[in-house]
């Protein structure tokens, strides 16, 4: 006799399966508590390249930004990496003191880093993002979440339709909608924090000023973020922090060439961190090397010393 699973048992097993999928998903996207005098979070991971791997696929697999993965692994061919090569999956982040504002809940977007931070009552989450292409970067400043929409329609603005006249005036929800399944609309301009139908675009400059997130991450953020939440768009390629007696630097390319003299710019940041009665010593060669080739990794660059 053929063994056929009864419908109610099948539904029960499916329910248990979905429960554990949701549980794992929520754990993967859990908040991290901010700790006093702590500015370095998470650890970089490592992966050994296998046959048919590409850095594009690995960025999506590990939910990191594509450009961040390239920066962390200079010299690795993104399309045909050599099997057996050990690469860095950049997960460690530096949250400088000036990112931690005197507000309960807010979003902070750092354009050169291509990363969004969501701070909520002493905890935070952070996601890689796609940002505006050259000449289309979002203006810096303070915004607010004005409205939220599940399964948004996309109304291509005139600038985009001028580039692609075949675009319809309205793109309904579905696989052809570049906004994905969820959207958080900002209060001015046509700027939106949304999902994407092209996960490979995360961590790149591919938008007209909006911010793209991986589909599962915008879904999580969509249900967490309230209306009127402030959104701060900043431009900070050089993040500096003092943790314990160690000075750290995390540097990204100055994508818009806005900081003409990065070394004195960083020194000014360091000096604001030094407590009274102390001085510091930095490794000039290390800093110079980082500035010559910013890799997005967290580096020790100096130490705190007590004045004698």
Cβ contact 146:186 at 8 Å: yes
The residue ranges of the chain whose pLDDT is under 50 are 1-5, 7, 10-11, 14, 17-27
Measuring CA to CA, how many Å separate 275 from each of 265, 269, 272, 280? 19, 13, 8, 10
The pLDDT value given to residue 9: 53
CATH 3.10.350.10 positions along the chain are 43-89
Q: What is the pLDDT of residues 85-139, one digit of tens each?
A: 999 999 999 999 999 999 999 999 999 999 999 999 999 999 999 999 999 999 9
Q: If you count them, how many residues does the chain have?
A: 308
pLDDT at position 215 is 96
Rounded CA-CA distance 287/280 in Å is 14
Domain formed by 93-234, architecture? Beta Barrel (2.40)
Residues of the chain with CATH 2.40.440.10: 93-234
Catalytically active residues are 194, 210
Task: For the beta carbon of residue 27, count every other beta carbon within 10 angstroms.
Answer: 8
- Residue 30 phi/psi, 5-degree rounding, is -80, 155
Q: CA angle, 189 as apex, 124 and 146 as ends, to 5°?
A: 50
Could you please state the CATH topology (level 3) that the domain comprising 43-89 is classified under: Membrane-bound Lytic Murein Transglycosylase D; Chain A (3.10.350)
Cβ partners under 8 Å of residue 33, min gap 6: 122, 123
Would you call 225 helix, strand, or coil by DSSP?
coil
Chain position carrying tokens 């450009």:
67
Element (H, E) at 19: helix 7-28
Task: Give the predicted TM-score (pTM) of the model.
Answer: 0.89
Predicted pLDDT at 1: 40
**What integer best gives the mean pLDDT of the chain?**
91
Q: What is the pLDDT of residue 18?
A: 42
């Amino acid at each position: 006799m053929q063994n056929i699973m009864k419908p109610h048992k099948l539904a029960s097993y499916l329910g248990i399966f979905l429960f554990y999928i949701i549980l794992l998903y929520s754990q993967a996207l859990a908040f991290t508590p901010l700790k006093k005098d702590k500015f370095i979070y998470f650890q970089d991971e490592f992966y050994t390249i296998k046959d048919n791997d590409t850095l594009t696929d690995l960025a999506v697999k590990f939910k990191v930004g594509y450009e961040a993965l390239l920066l962390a692994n200079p010299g690795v061919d993104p399309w045909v990496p050599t099997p057996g090569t050990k690469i860095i999956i950049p997960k460690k982040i530096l949250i400088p003191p000036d990112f931690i504002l005197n507000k309960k809940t807010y979003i902070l977007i750092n354009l050169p880093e291509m990363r969004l931070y969501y701070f909520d009552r002493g905890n935070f989450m952070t996601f890689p993002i796609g940002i505006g292409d050259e000449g289309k970067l979002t203006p810096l400043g303070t915004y607010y979440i004005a409205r939220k929409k599940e399964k948004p329609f996309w109304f291509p603005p005139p600038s985009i339709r001028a580039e692609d006249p075949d675009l319809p005036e309205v793109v309904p929800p579905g696989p052809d909608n570049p906004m994905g399944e969820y959207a958080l609309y900002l209060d001015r301009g046509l700027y939106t924090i949304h999902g994407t139908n092209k996960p490979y675009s995360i961590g790149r400059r591919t938008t007209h000023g909006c911010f793209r997130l991986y589909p599962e991450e915008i879904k999580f953020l969509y249900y967490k973020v309230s209306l009127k939440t402030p959104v701060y768009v900043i431009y900070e390629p050089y993040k500096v922090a003092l943790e314990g007696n160690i000075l750290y630097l995390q540097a990204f390319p100055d994508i818009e060439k806005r900081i003409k003299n990065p070394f004195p710019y960083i020194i000014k940041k360091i000096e604001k961190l030094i407590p009274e009665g102390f001085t510091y010593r930095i490794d000039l060669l290390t800093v110079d090397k980082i500035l010559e080739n910013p890799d997005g990794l967290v580096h020790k660059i100096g130490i705190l010393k007590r004045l004698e």
